[in-house]
Amino acid sequence: MKSSKKKSVIILFLLLASILGYSQYQSASEISVNISENKIINEDKNNLNYKIELEFKNPSLVILPVGETKFFIFYDNQIVGKGNLESFTLHPISSSHSSATFVTDQKLDEPKSVKISALTKYDLFGMSIEIPFDYHPTDEQTRRFIQQN
């Protein structure tokens, strides 16, 4: 009888942990991104080096330590730049800022679609979870981004 109760408690615990884990994974996949600042930090005849600051909003209940993230800038569906996002921690139900630099070899001249794509690796409870994100800046952010050129 005691063995049956132990098994039931263990199964119930695993079921609840699975449900909580899945719901937090879903919440983490809903992380939003906003460009809070971007500016040219260096320009030569072949490349433009940008500094960009991104704001991440974490809707989950889990602290997410984010390792270095490589990302790509798409302009009119073509890769025009790549960069690295510094490591940071996303605290539960809050916002965090992270700085990044990226290099592009193209002048962006007119408002077209801009997209930032990355695959971010989160180290959580001894596991690594990779969550992709695509960010499409607003029209206003795209205009400011292009005016820098």
Domain of 40 in residue numbering reads as: 31-147
List the beta bridge partners of residue 135: 116
Res 74: pLDDT: 79
6 within a domain of the structure (yes/no): no
Residue 124 confidence (pLDDT): 65
- Residue 59: which CATH number? 2.60.40.10
Mean pLDDT by 10 residues, the chain (149 residues): 81 85 71 77 80 84 78 80 82 86 69 74 71 75 58
Q: Is residue 123 part of a domain?
A: yes
Please state the domain count of the chain. Answer: 1
Does 14 reside within a domain? no
Residue 49 lies in a domain: yes
Beta strands in 13-126 (DSSP E): 32-43, 48-58, 64-66, 69-75, 78-85, 88-90, 94-104, 114-124
pTM of the model: 0.63
Q: Any idea which residue has 């615990």 for tokens?
A: 13
Residue ranges in the chain assigned as alpha helix (H): 2-28, 139-147
Residue 12 domain flag: no
